[in-house]
């Protein structure tokens, strides 16, 4: 009796210990060492790095209330088994501390859960009180920080997905849509949240098995059952319906002497035939509606194509709106916003929130309360037909593109004649602001070099790695945006065109910015991938030298053309003399030389002499040798000499230009250079 009387007290003591002792009562040192056994393997850098004490310090931090301590004992054990299961899958059983990174991806793959983007470093650092953007190596040099970032990832929800913590502790209630998709509480849902793009693919069963093996092994170590739904989709979805597993029992036999049921009556036959006829009518109606819908879609596509090529008049822009809306809503990326929500987000488009203004509209800073997100909102001027045309072009192109070096489109709005696009906010503005800004802060060479590598990566994706070839047609520093960590993201697709791979050129009205436009486009009206390569070459030279493409002096005939000036120095063996003087010689000489030579290679006047984008990017990445260029700058044979005043630094399109512009291109003119 005395023993039974002590049991409730012992249970209360254990409960109190669980409440005050953090995760230590659930994961002992022995259990930790058993789960992370790969640390003992020779050659695993995580052996001396991931320690039990570091895990306890991170898990019991006040910033993570409830981690491993929520719910009953089974819930706690399952959550910690799930946490170590997911992190073990990423680190191969906590063998690795830091993934091998590409030179252009300094923030990729550190710690027990990969913080795959700079955004995660920013958000995690803010939550932990650390500057992880500036000091990302904390994640791979401080084990407490490594565990903290992993737990932050585990505890933080990324809408619309819940947090893994909520899933494992009963804090998440799946919607009807989630249930239909087989997404239910359980370990499989955490796999879906963290690795849904790969491991949860139906064809990746082996990957799902590996993830589950870690979890089940750790559940065994922590002595707890696996629970339900250990795979990404509900286990029950893979089973046949219950009716096929358990067929209904046969009807009981009739009693002896009971008469057999009468044969089917005439009315039953009539009813059956009527039902069949009704089904035929319904099927025919459905086929008709599908045909009508397909026809409508085809007509909308034709309207859209015509609008992209020739612009749209007021009378048919509503149809273009509808066609674009269909384009958006077929995708899973951008979402539609109400105009009044964007009015609130920008403070009624207050001038204090204006980030910039162009010929066809303005860009405002905004804050979306529902998403807790700062954004940039582009508002097209109502009276600008060219702006509406560029809006349609941008919608058509950028809403379908996904690349880390392209500005992300968050959403859109065309309501009551208002056309707005919502983008991710680029806190550091555009590249030209840092090259020529009045703040006297010099952009370091290492940052410039990463920006140029990012730009090359974006252009390679547009030209060769997407379904169609995307011609941007307006590559320049003011369209190269910089995020919080100064990673380059190419934006402004208002002049972009889509062409099929293999089609070498597109005849169109010339458009772009003087100084960055391909001379061939000016003379022949043809644009091609090499036109973007030309613009890339100009930007490479401009970023390395800190000079604009054309420097106009008091006498216009003495204007200094950047490419010509750099090529002259290259011919004299003094190309590094062209480096931006503000850098004070603080740059990698080989990188600087490589960027300048690739810039000259890409900006040659004859498009046939320019490299394909992949070849140029390979050289920029030091994955291919430098080209051998002639000592003197070649002149394209089709280029007639004209006055240098034809060069201005303004965005133009056919029929509208703020500068003097003729079909003849002044780039072939080679005035004497006074800045040797």
Using a 10 angstrom Cβ sphere, with 0-12 exposed, 13-18 middle and 19 or more buried, the burial of residue 657 is middle
Residue with tokens 């249930």: 179
DSSP output for 471-499? E----SGGGEEE-TT--EEE---TT-EEE
Using a 10 angstrom Cβ sphere, with 0-12 exposed, 13-18 middle and 19 or more buried, the burial of residue 624 is middle
Number of H helices, E strands in the chain: 23, 16
Give the largest Cα separation in the chain, rounded.
121
CA distance to 3, 26, 137, per residue, from 17 (Å): 21, 10, 36
Is the separation of the CB atoms in 69 and 22 below 8 Å? yes
Which letter does DSSP use for residue 415 in this model? Answer: E
How many Cα atoms within 13 Å fall on the side-chain side of residue 527? Answer: 25
Is the separation of the CB atoms in 123 and 74 below 8 Å? no
DSSP output for 202-233? TT-HHHHHHHHHHHHHHHHHTT----S--SSS
Is the separation of the CB atoms in 89 and 74 below 8 Å? no
- 593: annotated binding-site residue? no
Residue with tokens 């077929």: 330
DSSP output for 522-561? HHH-EE-HHHHHHHHHHHHHHHHHT--SEE--SSGGGPEE
d(CA 321, CA 304): 9
Bridge-based pairing state of the strands 361-368 and 373-380: antiparallel
How many Cα atoms within 13 Å fall on the side-chain side of residue 455? Answer: 33
DSSP output for 126-192? HHHT--TTT-TTHHHH-HHHHHHHHHHHHH---TTS--HHHHHHT-----HHHHHTT--SSHHHHHH
Quote the tokens at residue 260.
């057999």
Phi/psi for 469 (5° steps) reads -85, 125
| 547 alpha carbon, distance to own chain's centre | 31
Q: Which helix (H) or strand (E) covers residue 368, if one does? A: strand 361-368
Is the separation of the CB atoms in 66 and 60 below 8 Å? no
Which letter does DSSP use for residue 406 in this model? Answer: B
Phi/psi for 650 (5° steps) reads -140, 150
Helix (H, G, I), strand (E, B) or coil at 314: helix
| Marked catalytic residue, from 327, 474, 532, 568 | 474
Quote the tokens at residue 145.
């920080």
Which letter does DSSP use for residue 430 in this model? Answer: B
Cβ within 8 Å of residue 440, ≥6 positions away: none
Task: Based on the residue annotation, tell me whether 558 is a catalytic residue of this protein.
Answer: no
Cβ within 8 Å of residue 359, ≥6 positions away: 384, 386, 387, 651, 656
d(CA 475, CA 521): 14
Quote the tokens at residue 530.
């090499």
Cβ within 8 Å of residue 533, ≥6 positions away: 459, 602, 610, 611, 612, 613, 616
Q: Give the annotated binding-site residues.
A: 378
Point out the residues that are catalytic: 474
Q: Give the annotated binding-site residues for ATP.
A: 378
């Amino acid at each position: 009796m005395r023993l039974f009387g002590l049991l409730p007290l012992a249970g209360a003591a254990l409960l109190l210990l669980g409440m005050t002792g953090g995760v230590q009562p659930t994961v002992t040192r022995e259990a930790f060492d058993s789960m992370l056994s790969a640390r003992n393997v020779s050659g695993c850098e995580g052996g001396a790095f991931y320690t039990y004490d570091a895990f306890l310090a991170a898990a019991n931090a006040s910033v993570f209330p409830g981690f491993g301590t929520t719910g009953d004992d089974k819930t706690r054990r399952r959550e910690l088994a799930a946490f170590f299961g997911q992190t073990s899958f990423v680190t191969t059983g906590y063998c690795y501390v830091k993934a091998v990174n590409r030179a252009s991806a300094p923030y990729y793959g550190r710690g027990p859960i990969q913080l795959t983007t700079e955004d995660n470093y920013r958000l995690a650092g803010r939550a932990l009180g650390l500057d992880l953007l500036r000091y990302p190596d904390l994640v791979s040099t401080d084990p407490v920080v490594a565990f903290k970032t992993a737990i932050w990832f585990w505890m933080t929800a990324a809408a619309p997905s819940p947090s893994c913590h909520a899933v494992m502790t009963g804090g998440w209630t799946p919607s009807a849509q989630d249930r239909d998709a087989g997404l239910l509480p359980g370990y499989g849902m955490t796999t879906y949240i963290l690795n849904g793009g790969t491991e949860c693919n139906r064809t990746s069963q082996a990957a799902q098995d590996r993830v589950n093996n870690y979890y089940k092994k750790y559940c065994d170590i922590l002595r707890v059952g696996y629970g339900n739904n250990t795979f990404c989709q509900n286990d029950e979805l893979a089973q046949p319906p219950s009716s096929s597993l358990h067929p209904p029992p046969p009807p009981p036999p009739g009693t002896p002497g009971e008469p057999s049921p009468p044969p089917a009556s005439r009315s039953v036959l009539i009813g059956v035939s009527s039902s069949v006829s009704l089904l035929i009518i319904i099927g025919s109606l459905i086929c008709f509606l599908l045909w009508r819908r397909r026809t409508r879609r085809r007509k909308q596509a034709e309207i859209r194509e015509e609008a992209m090529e020739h612009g749209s008049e007021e009378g048919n822009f509503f149809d273009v709106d509808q066609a674009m809306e269909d384009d958006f809503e077929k995708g899973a990326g951008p979402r539609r916003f109400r105009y009044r929500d964007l009015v609130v987000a920008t403070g009624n488009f207050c001038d204090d929130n204006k980030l910039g203004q162009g010929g066809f509209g303005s860009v405002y800073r905004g804050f979306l309360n529902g998403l807790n997100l700062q954004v940039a909102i582009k508002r097209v001027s109502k009276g600008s037909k060219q702006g509406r045309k560029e809006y349609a072009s941008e919608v058509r192109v950028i809403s379908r593109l996904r690349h880390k070096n392209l500005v992300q489109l968050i959403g859109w709005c065309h309501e009551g004649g208002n056309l707005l696009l919502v983008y991710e906010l680029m806190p550091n503005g555009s590249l030209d602001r840092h090259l020529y800004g009045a703040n006297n802060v010099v952009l370091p060479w290492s940052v410039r070099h990463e920006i140029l590598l990012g730009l090359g990566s974006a252009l390679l994706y547009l030209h060769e790695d997407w379904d169609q070839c995307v011609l941007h047609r307006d590559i320049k520093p003011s369209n190269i945006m910089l995020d919080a960590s100064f990673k380059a993201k190419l934006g402004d697709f208002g002049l972009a065109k889509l062409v099929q791979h293999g089609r070498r050129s597109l005849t169109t009205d010339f458009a772009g910015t003087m100084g960055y436009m391909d001379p061939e486009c000016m003379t022949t009206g043809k644009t091609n991938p090499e036109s973007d390569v030309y613009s890339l070459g100009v930007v490479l030279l401009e970023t390395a030298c800190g000079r604009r493409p054309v420097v106009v002096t008091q006498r216009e005939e003495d204007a200094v053309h950047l490419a010509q000036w750099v090529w002259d120095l290259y011919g004299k063996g003094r190309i590094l003399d062209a480096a931006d003087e503000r850098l004070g010689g603080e740059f990698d000489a080989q990188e600087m030389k490589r960027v300048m030579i690739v810039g000259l290679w890409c900006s040659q006047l004859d498009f046939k002499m320019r490299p394909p984008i992949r070849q140029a990017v390979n050289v920029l990445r030091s994955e291919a040798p430098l080209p051998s260029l002639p000592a003197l700058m070649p002149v394209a044979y089709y280029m007639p000499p004209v006055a240098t005043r034809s060069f201005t630094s303004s965005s133009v399109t056919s029929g509208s230009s703020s500068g003097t512009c003729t079909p003849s291109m002044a780039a072939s003119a080679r005035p004497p250079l006074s800045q040797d």
